[in-house]
Amino acid sequence: MLRASGILISAVMLTGAIARAQPAPDVPIAPPTGAGQPQPTPPPAHPPPPPPDMGQAGHGTGQPAGDEPGQRTDFGDPYAPVKPVTEPPKKRLRPVYMPELLTTPTGFLLPAAVLYSKTSIDTGGGVSSDTRVGLGDVAEFGIATTDGVRQRLDETDVRATRIQPYVTASFRLGIQEDRLTRGQPGVTLGFRKSFERNHDGFSTRIAELTLVASKHLGPNAALHVGGAFWDASLEGDLDGDADTAREEVTLHGLEDVKSQLRAFGGIELRPLPKSQILVDLGWSPEFCYRCAVPGDKIRLRPTLSWGVRYEVAEWMRLESGVRVPDIGDANLLDAQIFGQISFTSRALQRAIEGLK
């Protein structure tokens, strides 16, 4: 019993001596001054959170409290509750509505900094691609290759073939749906222009100015209606006489505005959550190099398309359907079955938001 008491007293005395040797919590530990001095304790792997109101400790001088001689450093209350770190609420991103139905533009613009890419093939041997980027929620710029422009040699050539690739650049600007007033449709004014295309000794160009309005009719339907003002040029040996000079014919040169104006539109329906049915009617230029009638050298032909868009993922869509390049002649033989895949990316948009 006596021995146990001795051990207890020794333990208490030893613990008290160790405790007394420790500095007070608010007294800084002096740095080592030379050899033989005890080495400082390495900093912990995870430093404690800064005490509250550290900025006020130096009284606005930028110096921490205690740097002045004779003044004690204030580390604050180490037991004060730490403020929880809360991230600012994420900005809700606008949904991406497609800038194109199947072949015609819509009144929807890509959101700012959203990238869009579409690649299409069809059973007529057509290959096309379209790459766009949204600019500031009010505009859109894109480069595309289209397989919609067709050619014939003369009146006896009943089968028009496609000129491809036909490279175009496009710029569209507009106003989002419901932006100005409630119920206002999305409206875009677009301009598409091709680079000059040299083919079989003929040079062709096309240009299209479009104004289109798109309106959601409930959550599962949208209607698109627009008008296009077309122009095109054809240059080459148009009379088949090698001795004569090359001449140029333009659509505006026909001086018939009605031949340049066309209405187009389409509808999209969403009967299933990830699937849409799309139908649209658009127009494509057709060049007839040696047609005798000037009005037949450049004509606009109606194209009817219908198909399905299936959203495989938020960033990827598969589209397939049927396109009849010249529905005006009810030519079933020229009907093409197409498949296309489109991607949208918000990576650039997120990067820009991160910089903000």
- Which residues in this chain contact another protein in the complex, by CB under 8 A? 123-125, 267, 269, 271-272, 274-277, 279, 281, 304, 306-312, 318, 320-322, 327-328, 330-333, 335-337, 339
Would you say 184 or 320 has its CB closer to another protein? 320
Would you say 199 or 270 has its CB closer to another protein? 270
Answer yes or no: are the C-beta atoms of 268 and 277 closer than 8 Å: yes
Closest CB 127 distance from another protein, rounded Å? 13
Closest CB 335 distance from another protein, rounded Å? 6
Would you say 192 or 309 has its CB closer to another protein? 309
Closest CB 266 distance from another protein, rounded Å? 10
Would you say 340 or 344 has its CB closer to another protein? 340
Closest CB 295 distance from another protein, rounded Å? 19
Would you say 233 or 340 has its CB closer to another protein? 340
User: Cα(156)–Cα(152) distance, rounded to whole angstroms?
Assistant: 9
User: Cα(309)–Cα(304) distance, rounded to whole angstroms?
Assistant: 16
Distance of CA 278 to the CA centre of its chain: 21
Closest CB 268 distance from another protein, rounded Å? 9
Contacts of residue 146, defined as CB under 8 A and 6 or more positions apart, other chains included, come to 128, 164, 165, 166, 168
Would you say 246 or 274 has its CB closer to another protein? 274
Both tokens of residue 278? Answer: 């799309």
Helix, strand or coil, per DSSP, at residue 14: helix
Torsion 327-330-336-338 (CA) sign: positive
Answer yes or no: are the C-beta atoms of 276 and 268 closer than 8 Å: yes
The Cα-based distances of 306 to 145, 319, 328, 336, 344 in angstroms read 21, 10, 16, 11, 22
User: Cα(325)–Cα(336) distance, rounded to whole angstroms?
Assistant: 8
Closest CB 316 distance from another protein, rounded Å? 12
Contacts of residue 143, defined as CB under 8 A and 6 or more positions apart, other chains included, come to 130, 131, 167, 168, 169, 170
Closest CB 262 distance from another protein, rounded Å? 14
Answer yes or no: are the C-beta atoms of 210 and 239 closer than 8 Å: no
Would you say 19 or 332 has its CB closer to another protein? 332
